[in-house]
């Protein structure tokens, strides 16, 4: 198994944490090294974790699970699949339109 390296340019130290940004909440989330390499996340070494800065007005959330509690790898894709597979209630069609798939048929005036 290959040790993952820090994502910072020219740094070859082993990664110890994963950084993720929640842009909508202006928050940087720094947690334990993720079990998988994910797009839009950054693996950081201990030095870069300690030197982390974020834009003014942003918050940093440090997630440190209990070291005594084993953490099973989670699959974010599974959570996403569950979220999008939950059907939304169909909107009530307007009286003067008929829905067929993604198209609407409007009656001729």
End-to-end CA distance of the chain: 69
Please list, in sequence order, all residues whose beta carbon lies within 8 angstroms of the beta carbon of residue 29, skipping any fewer than 6 positions away.
Answer: 19, 20, 21, 22, 60, 61, 63
pLDDT at residue 52, rounded to an integer: 92
Q: Which residue has the tokens 């009286």?
A: 95
Domain boundaries, the chain: 1-66+73-85
The CA distance from 27 to 54, in Å, is: 9
Q: What is the pTM of this model?
A: 0.58
Averages of pLDDT over runs of 10 residues in the chain (109 residues) are 85 93 89 87 93 92 66 53 56 55 62
């Amino acid at each position: 198994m290959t040790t993952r390296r820090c994502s910072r340019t020219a740094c070859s130290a082993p990664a110890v944490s994963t950084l993720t940004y929640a842009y909508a909440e202006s928050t940087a989330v720094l947690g334990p090294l993720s079990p998988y390499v994910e797009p839009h996340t950054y693996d950081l070494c201990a030095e870069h974790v300690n030197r982390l800065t974020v834009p003014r007005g942003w918050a940093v959330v440090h997630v440190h699970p209990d070291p005594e509690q084993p953490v099973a790898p989670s699959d974010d894709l599974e959570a996403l699949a569950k979220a999008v597979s939950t059907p939304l209630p169909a909107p009530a069609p307007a009286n003067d339109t008929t829905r067929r798939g993604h198209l609407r048929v409007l009656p001729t005036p």
